[in-house]
Every structure is written in structure tokens, then in C-alpha cells.
A and B are shown apart, each in its own frame.
Chain A
């Protein structure tokens, strides 16, 4: 869990710095740090520690963005699951695959976010601006993903918590089945 705690600390510092920069740079040009950290945690940390990191960075992101507490966490769960499952069978721990994965997860998270905002009662009107924002942010997220992943990998290696790679796809049902069968 040490890596997860350190990751939350680094993520929070990153979000604070990003918040200061947002006074001078348009928000849509800034990458979504929470997504990058959640994806990196899914790729490099053991399951529980990765989820803990997601929760910490997600809630910090909500607090600094003025979003309803829990919105970022909820929107990050699906990208997290995709990254986790994909990492089970694909070799994603390299710069280009990490960037590609971030580029895929970015619009997925944005779509989830828009859906949640709609359920929350403040749906954005879909048009040029939200679409443009999603495209620009996708590029920014893809660019940021490799350095964040390298950082998280170094952190996990330093604390001895690096998750073994390519575990093989383990669905909920398949994971539970052998144990259920043994118990009759």
C-alpha cells in the first residue's frame, strides 16, 4: 500500500499544480491527471492498491475541480477495469501502448462523465465544444500517459509492489468457479 499512498500524494500535488496553471492555460489543453494515474495504477499496482489509488486521486480531483464528490471516482471505474483486463492479456507496459491505451480510455471516461452529469441533472449540450474538448484532451492524455506510467512503475518497483504483468484474463465468473465447485 506504500506505493498507493505515495501515488495519491504525488497525484494530489500534480492536481494542485495543474489547478494553478489553469488560471493561465485553457482547461481543455490540460491533461486529465486523474485518468493517467488511475490507468498507471491499473497497469502496475496490485488490484487493491490500484483501487485505493484510484479512490484517492479521484476524490482529490473532485475536491479541486469543484465537482460532486465521487463523480471522478465513478467515471474512472470503467477505464480502470478496461485497463486492468487489457493488461491481463496484452503487453501494455511500454510507451506507445500506454499512449494508445490512454487515447482509448480518454473518450470512454469522457462519455461516462457526460452520462453521469446527465444523471446528476447538469447534462452538457452536445455540440462542437464538448467534442473538441474531448479530442484535445485525448491527445493531451495520450502524451502524458508514458511519463506517468514510468513514474508509477518506478514507485512500485522501489516499494516492491510491482504487479506481475500479463496475468491472463480473469473474469469474475471464471475466478469464482473453481472455488465454488470445491465447496460443492
Chain B
């Protein structure tokens, strides 16, 4: 019998590893649906090591890239300066006009209130590494639980939504970009208030899926987070519609979206130190979120 077991050892180990991996995948899936997870020391150890190592490796390349970028920037800084002065003057005129319009419509107070609701603590973080697989779109951040980051917290830049923290260690975090196929953000067309889901294509683009008349969504429309879905606060820019597939016979229409944030060259991002009440309910053991706004918001993995 022992000889039989010895002979079957490799096939049994092979099958055992397959079963272990399958169980692990489903456990991970459940954790992602609950907004991600805080990694234990033995699973997060590699990310802890990777964070400083990747920063050291990236530093010289970043330095060369920075010098080159600064040099190029200097070449046309004068022209850009003039253009910016003109732009500022135009924007100031526009701001005055908009303020007048808001006062006239009595909405100024509501807008100020909404801004106050959205103001929440943020933690700056550096992107120190990206995933090497073409099938996933994630980044490694140099901030972790020690800095207040928790799984399920939104990541943004000044441009707009970047993604969601999916795993954390004491000093590092893994964030899934909205470009990832697993990402789904509840979005709202700012002009028409048409709602839909923004999904990542996994290939660097976004798709806005919506129902209703095709003319509710037009190229150039800005899509923002809607506030539903349980992951993102309301009113953060997701992207701009670049084309609408109006010929689709399905009930669900699709429009291509250009991300508002520059997701292909991410360097510095901000983690909103906030988790929606939905995620807090799904992860009751984790510390309470800070700066929770009155309105909970959008987007989650399907």
C-alpha cells in the first residue's frame, strides 16, 4: 500500500494543489466582493518587501524621466505661461458668470453644502509598482494600514477616479484601477443625469453601460460617480464620453469613455480615508472609517 501511495504521490500532490488554488480563488473572490481585505503578515510579507524594493529600482529611472520632462517643460514654458494667463482670465470670467447664475437659481447654498460633504481626509501615496500581467490592472502603493488605508477606500488624483484599495499590509496597499475588468463603478452623466455602470475593458479603456434613449449620452459628456453602489463618494469625475454605440440592438447601450485621470502614467495618488457604510457593514471587524460623508456612493466589483 505504501508503494502505491509513493507512486501516486505526485498526482495526489498535483490534485491537492489544484483544489487548494481553487478554494483560494473563491475565498479571494468573496473578500473582493466585500470591498477587499487586510492581508495577514504571511500573505502581505511579499508586498511589504516589494514596496521599498520597487521604490529603489524605480528611483533612478524616475530621476532620468524627471530631468527629461523638466527639460522639455522648460523649452516651451514661456509659451505655456502666456497661454495659461489667458486661460486664467477666461476662467475667472466664467467663474463670475457661473456664480451669478447659481445665485440667481438659489443653488449656491446647496453647492457649498455638497462640497462640504465631499471634503474628507486624504492620504497621499506614491505608485511604486504595477502588475506585470496584461490581464489585470492594479498598482502597488507605498502607504498601508499604518497610514490609515483600508481595503475598500477610493483612490483618486486631481483628474478623477483612479480605483479602489483591494488589499492592505501595514506599509503597502494594492489598488485595483477602474480599467480592470473586475471594476464596475456606478456613474452618472452630468448633463442628462442618465445613470449607468462604468466598466473597465482591461485594455486601457472604459465602457459606460446605460439604458434608455441613446441621445441621453453624447460624445463630450462628463461622467461622474453617482453615489450609489457602495464604494465611491458622489461627484468625482470618472471620464468623458468619446463615442456612443447607438446601433446596438440590446436594451443596454454602450459608450466608450476616456478616463479623467491619467491612468497610464500614475505616480502620485490620493487615498480617500473613507469607506461607505455598505462596506463598513460588510467588514464589521475593521476599524471605523473617518470623514464619512452624509451620502454614500458608487461603484463596486460585480
Contacts and interface: CB of A to CB of B under 8 A. Distances in A.
A125 B166 contact: no
A47 B14 CA distance: 9
A24 B130 CA distance: 9
Given A21-B57, A122-B181, A74 B18 contact: yes
Given A121-B182, A129-B203, 8 more contacts: A20-B57, A20-B128, A23-B58, A47-B13, A48-B9, A59-B24, A73-B20, A179-B4
A72 to B, nearest CB: 8
B47 A65 contact: no
B302 A121 contact: yes
A111 interface: no
A2 to B, nearest CB: 18
Contact of B47 (A13, A23, A64): A64
Closest 5 CB pairs of A and B: A66-B138, A70-B24, A70-B21, A20-B57, A19-B129
A69 interface: yes
A179 B302 contact: no
Contact of B4 (A68, A116, A180): A180
Interface stretch (B48-56, B149-157, B273-281, B288-296): B48-56
Interface string B29-65: 1001000000000010011011001100110010001
B23 interface: yes
B13 A48 contact: yes
Interface string A84-119: 000000000000000000000000000001101100
A114 B47 CA distance: 25
Interface string A14-58: 011111111110011010110000000000000110010011001
Q: Classify the secondary structure of A's interface with B.
A: helix
18 contacts: A16-B53, A17-B53, A19-B54, A19-B131, A20-B128, A24-B61, A48-B9, A48-B13, A51-B10, A51-B14, A60-B46, A64-B140, A66-B180, A68-B29, A74-B18, A122-B180, A176-B8, A183-B4
A68 B132 contact: no
Interface in A115-152: 116-117, 120-125, 129-130, 133, 137
B47 A47 contact: no
Given A20-B54, A64-B47, A175-B8, A74 B21 contact: yes
Contacts, number: 166
Nearest to B207: A125
Q: How large is the interface on B (under 10, 10 to 19, 20 to 34, 35 or more residues)?
A: 35 or more
A32 B166 CA distance: 23
B4 A176 contact: yes
Contacts of B201: 125
B115 to A, nearest CB: 33
B61 A15 contact: no
B96 interface: no
B253 interface: no
Nearest to A133: B134
B28 interface: yes
A77 interface: yes
B112 interface: no
Contact of A70 (B28, B180, B203): B28
B47 A63 contact: yes
B21 A122 contact: no
Interface in B160-199: 166-167, 174, 176, 180-182
B88 interface: no
